[in-house]
Copies of this chain bind each other. A is one copy, B any other.
Amino acid sequence: MTKSVLVLPGDGIGPEIVAEATRVLDAVNARFGLGIETREALVGGVAIDAEGSPLPDDTLAAARAADAILLGAVGGPQWDDLEMAQRPEKGLLGLRSNLNLFANLRPAILYPQLAGASTLKPEVVSGLDILIVRELTGGIYFGEPRGIRTRDDGVREGFNTYVYSEPEIERIARVAFDAAMKRNRRLCSVDKANVLEVTVLWREVVKRVARDYPEVELSHMYVDNAAMQLVRAPKQFDVLVTGNMFGDILSDCAAMLTGSIGMLPSASLNESGQGMYEPIHGSAPDIAGQGVANPLATIISVAMMLRYSLQAPAAADAIERAVADVLDQGLRTADIAGPDEQPVSTRAMGDAVLAAL
């Protein structure tokens, strides 16, 4: 009964934070006898440099074969001038779509130990615990036709297509309702149904799926209002469900409400429970290689992976407890250190989690 995990450090701070997360994974693997085998592969900018493609065939094959994937981050300024199809991001997007990882779960949780890090007033965010369920393999990210063309009148135009089919909407809605059932049974579906037809269908399908979940209180909100409400009174939300583009924007906004995006993990799941796990922060090229990045979001992503894809909830609990412990001990990397706190290094934070385990 071995389980396989593909580790994709990627670019920027990716290798540093993934190194600590892998040490934590190895530790719980040994301690709980999980029989997890890990291997590493290239994705993103480093894959472009080494193999000429952001998602080499052997990486994709290894990803397909794995039970779960742990990703650091992709992208950096040195690849910014490449054509769209050859950019690091295409590695990430290619993994999502080829593995059909349609359900992106992004919790925005305020750690009580880090309450002061938020730019919002304590009473507005204390105890914040929102889950954003973002559709990840459809919508305008993947819609065709797309491109830049010269029209008959000689004018150039860029175009993308925002498209969702009923089955795509239905399956992400079910994920969101299921998640709401395990939480506070409130689901808010975010759309722009007063302007965009694609989201008129979205709202219709979500309402239909709701009939199978009579215990969940469903509401609908326009995306502009949702962005306001996240700032005004984020604790009104339990679970939010939305499409790929709105989810990209709102989940980053929600994450920033906590003030500590260096703490937030994410999961991207397909219908068979296979998943890719990654911190929601990016590759942070400005601090890459300095050993100062916060590895906790990646370490907590490992906990999510153990829980959702590797059926090892006890190991997940142990990691989460260890993280709470090191926060209680007052350890802080630079991103979450207050003005009077001495920041610790990436490695020291990893050491502390291992010690706390």
Does chain B have a CB within 8 A of A30?
no
Partner of A253, one of B84, B120, B231, B245: B231
Residues on B with beta carbons closer than 8 Å to the beta carbon of A164 = 157-158
Does chain B have a CB within 8 A of A196?
yes
Does chain B have a CB within 8 A of A146?
yes
Q: Which residue of B lies closest to A199 (CB)?
A: B158
Contact present for B143 and A245 (CB under 8 Å): no
Does chain B have a CB within 8 A of A61?
no
Measured between alpha carbons, how far is A166 from B153 in the docked complex, in Å?
12
Contact present for B163 and A162 (CB under 8 Å): no
Does chain B have a CB within 8 A of A216?
no
Does chain B have a CB within 8 A of A325?
no
Whole-angstrom distance from the CB of A357 to the nearest CB of chain B?
Answer: 31
Residues on B with beta carbons closer than 8 Å to the beta carbon of A101 = none
Total interface residues in chain A, CB < 8 Å: 61
- Please name the 6 residue pairs, one residue from A and one from B, whose CB atoms are nearest each other, closest first: A158-B201, A158-B198, A157-B165, A227-B253, A224-B252, A228-B256
Contact present for B159 and A198 (CB under 8 Å): yes
Partner of A165, one of B143, B156, B197, B252: B156
Residues on B with beta carbons closer than 8 Å to the beta carbon of A158 = 163-164, 196-202
Does chain B have a CB within 8 A of A16?
no
A-side binding surface: helix, strand, loop or mixed? helix
Residues on B with beta carbons closer than 8 Å to the beta carbon of A119 = 120-121, 124, 231-233
Whole-angstrom distance from the CB of A140 to the nearest CB of chain B?
Answer: 6
Contact present for A248 and B231 (CB under 8 Å): no
Measured between alpha carbons, how far is A113 from B245 in the docked complex, in Å?
37
20 other A-B residue contacts (CB within 8 Å) besides A146-B197, A159-B162, A227-B253: A89-B194, A120-B121, A120-B231, A140-B162, A141-B195, A143-B159, A146-B196, A155-B166, A155-B167, A156-B201, A157-B164, A157-B166, A158-B199, A158-B200, A160-B197, A161-B161, A228-B252, A228-B253, A246-B249, A253-B253
Residues on B with beta carbons closer than 8 Å to the beta carbon of A246 = 249
Contact with B along A159-192 (1 / 0, CB 8 A): 1111111110000000000000000000000001
Interface residues of A in 207-259 (CB under 8 A from B): 223-225, 227-228, 230-233, 245-246, 248-253, 255-257, 259
Whole-angstrom distance from the CB of A201 to the nearest CB of chain B?
Answer: 3
